[in-house]
Structure 1
Amino acid sequence: MNLDHRQRGVSRRALAGVEANARLTGGTAVVLLVLLFLEGVTILRILPLLDWHVAIGLVLVPVVVVKLGSTSWRFARYYLGSRGYVAKGPPPPALRLLGPIVVVLTVVLFASGIALLLDPRGLGGRLLFLHKASFVLWFLAMAVHVLGHLAETARLAPRDWMPRTRRSVRGAPARLLLIVASLVVGAALAGALTGRTAHFKQVYFRSPPAAASTGH
């Protein structure tokens, strides 16, 4: 194949770097999918599950940063002409065009959510509309993004865990540690900020925190 022909002129070290980044992206994507599923469950009953919605959202933040970092690295290295990434080739055109849209919507979604948590009355209430609207657009874009990368993610994500493949590319422990560290940082964020949902409930549900938490 043409891709194999291009790879023959690239050093094994360069190709290993591409594979390492791809494994980090795939492993992080699996963690994100699990957390996003749980976050989606909270939306079904947002008022009684608001604390969980906020906590999971905050846990997601550092994991999202790792994912954006690994995909941005691939993007930058490819367009800067790194031989390993050029040999691997870009994603399909549709997914390449969708990528920046997903990034922008992801940043808007999480930034508006954190801003709402810190200042529920921010922008005269328009922050809540921005958060909801960005979620709808983000969900549609992410559905296409996930489906487009599902096979690649399923292929790459287990490689750092399986004894047969984890040693074929150096750095598996560091990549796994980075994912775990992002979850620990996210848990710390959740522990520090989830309590602010009480003020959010007072602003948007017009009830004291104790009453809001019991559904009255």
Structure 2
Amino acid sequence: MSLRIWADDTIAEATGRHRRHDPVGPVTGGPAGNARLTAWLGALLLALFLAELVTLLAVEDLLSWHIVIGVLLVPPALAKTATTGWRIVRYYTGQPAYRRSGPPPMPLRVLGPLVVLSTLAVLGTGLALIAVGPDAGRASLLVVLGYRISALTLHQGTFIVWATVTGLHTLGRAVPALRILSGPTAERPLPGRWQRGGLVLITVLVAVLTAVLVLNASDAWLTTDLHRHHPPRETTIGP
């Protein structure tokens, strides 16, 4: 298949001109239920992703928010990876309903693993930074072409990669996901509504709990930045 055909298929799906047919299965909804759950998780991730980008406008002043939102991203990112991975496994192991639904266009299939790997990389380096603290996080790990590489540098670099591939993925999947969430479910009622709602709710609760715990463990970063921008005033004795 030529690159032009791949590009045409991708644009057709991204703009909604072509829509994959997701069969409805029993209990959990099958491919249609999987697509709806993935779309809800994607919408949650998009909102958090945009909020995290806002914190970059003044990351030193919004560091606590940057940390909290970054941690909030972890559970839904893992959950969406799981739902997408389940669909991939069912498709390539020959499950009839998922085979009838078909795969996404090739460029999106190639982009998918890059999104997963970069997501794990940026979240992993972010959590590692919180664990090691500001001194070790800013310490040089190695020198490449005259540039010192630290854990903070790795986090910043993986964030750029993640933002790029996630942005492209969002452009390709936003319209289909919106149609899934706002349009009619399928040719018959979609089972598994409560299961999907429960999974999304559990994901949100785990995200909030994790964010609270990690924020409490990130005092070293917050204290260091607070002192750097607002140094304690010198006290004087006498008039």
Q: For this structure pair, what is the TM-score category when the shorter chain's length is used for normalisation?
A: 0.7 to 0.9
Q: Does the alignment pair 1:157 with 2:178?
A: no
Partner of 1:148: 172
1:144-194 deviations in Å (ceiling 9; x for gaps): 1011111111011246xxxx7498111112111211111111111111111
C-alpha distance in 1 between matches for 2:231 and 2:123 = 26
Pick the structure with more helix per residue. Answer: 1
User: What's the Cα RMSD here?
Assistant: 2.8
In structure 1, the partner of 2:152 is 128
How many residue pairs get aligned? The number is 202
- The partner residue of 1:84 within 77, 84, 97 is 97
TM-score w.r.t. the length of structure 2 is 0.76
Give how far 1:195 is off.
2.8
From the superposition, tell whether residues 189 and 15 of structure 1 become closer, same or farther in structure 2 (CA, over 3 Å). Answer: closer
Structure number with greater Rg is: 2
Change (3 A) 1:19 1:202: same
For the residue of structure 1 that corresponds to 2:94, the secondary structure is: coil
Secondary structure at the aligned position of 1:44 is classed as helix
* 1:20-57 Cα shifts (integer Å, max 9, x gaps): 10000001111111111111111110011000111111
Q: Which moved more, 1:187-196 or 1:87-96?
A: 187-196
CA distance in structure 1 between the partners assigned to 2:29 and 2:217 by the alignment: 44
User: Structure 1: which 5+ residue stretches go unaligned?
Assistant: none
- Unmatched segments (≥5 aa) in structure 2: 1-19, 141-149, 233-239
Structure 1 residue 200: Cα displacement = 2.2
Aligned counterparts, 1:96-111, within 5 A: 96-111=109-124
- Kindly, what percent of the aligned residue pairs are identical? 31
The SS at the match of 1:69 is: helix
**TM-score, reference length from structure 1:** 0.83
Name the counterpart of 2:78. 65
Superposition pairs of residues 17-56 of structure 1, within 5 angstroms: 17-56=30-69
For 2:76 and 2:151, the matched residues in 1 are separated by 23
- The amino acid across from 1:62 in the alignment is P
